[in-house]
Chains A and B, each alone.
Chain A
Amino acid sequence: MYKTWWKILAAALVVYTAIAGLLLEVPRLAILNETIRNLYFHVPMWFAMVVLFTISVWYSVKSLGTQKEEYDIKAVESANAGIIFGVLGIVTGAVWAKFTWGQFWSFDPKQNFAAISLLLYFAYFILRNAIDEEQKRAKIAAIYNIFAFPMMVVLLFVLPRLQDSLHPGNGGNPGFNSYDLDSRMRMVFYPACLGWIIIGYWIYTLRLRIKTIENSQL
Chain B
Amino acid sequence: MKKLLSILLLLFTSLTLFAQNNDIEMADQLRNNGKIYIVVICIVIILAGLLFYLFSLDKRLKLLEKKSDRKN
Q: Is the CB of A33 within 8 A of B35?
A: yes
Does B33 belong to the interface (CB within 8 Å)?
Answer: yes
Give a binary string over A76-114; 1 marks a CB under 8 Å from any B CB, 0 the rest: 000000001001100110011001100000000000000
B39 to chain A, nearest CB (A): 5
Interface 1/0 per residue, B19-50 and A, CB below 8 Å:
00000000100110111101101110110011
Interchain CB contact under 8 A, B41 and A210: no
* A135 beta carbon closer than 8 Å to chain B: no
Say what secondary structure dominates the interface of chain A.
Answer: helix
In the complex with contacts A87-B49, A91-B45, A95-B42, A34-B35 CB distance below 8 A: yes
A95 neighbours in B (Cβ, 8 Å): 38, 41-42, 45
> Are B57's CB and A88's CB within 8 A?
no
Interface residues of A in 187-218 (CB under 8 A from B): 203, 206-207, 210, 213-214, 217
CB atoms of A99 and B53 under 8 A apart? no
User: In this assembly, does A54 line the interface, its C-beta being within 8 Å of a C-beta of chain B?
Assistant: no
Given known A210-B57, A217-B68, contact A92–B33 (CB-CB < 8 A): no
Is residue A38 within 8 Å, beta carbon to beta carbon, of the partner chain?
A: yes
Contact B46 A92 (CB under 8 A): yes
Check if B64 is an interface residue, CB within 8 A of chain A. Answer: yes
Tell whether A177 is near chain B: CB-to-CB under 8 Å. Answer: no
Residues on A with beta carbons closer than 8 Å to the beta carbon of B46: 41, 45, 88, 92
Beyond contacts A41-B42, A99-B38, A203-B53: 17 other A-B pairs, Cβ-Cβ < 8 A, are A32-B35, A34-B33, A34-B38, A35-B35, A41-B46, A42-B42, A87-B49, A91-B45, A91-B49, A100-B35, A207-B57, A210-B57, A210-B60, A210-B64, A213-B64, A214-B60, A217-B64
Known: A88-B49, A92-B45. A35 touches B61 (CB 8 A): no
B67 at the interface (CB under 8 A from A): yes
Cα-based distance from A11 to B30 in the complex (angstroms): 29
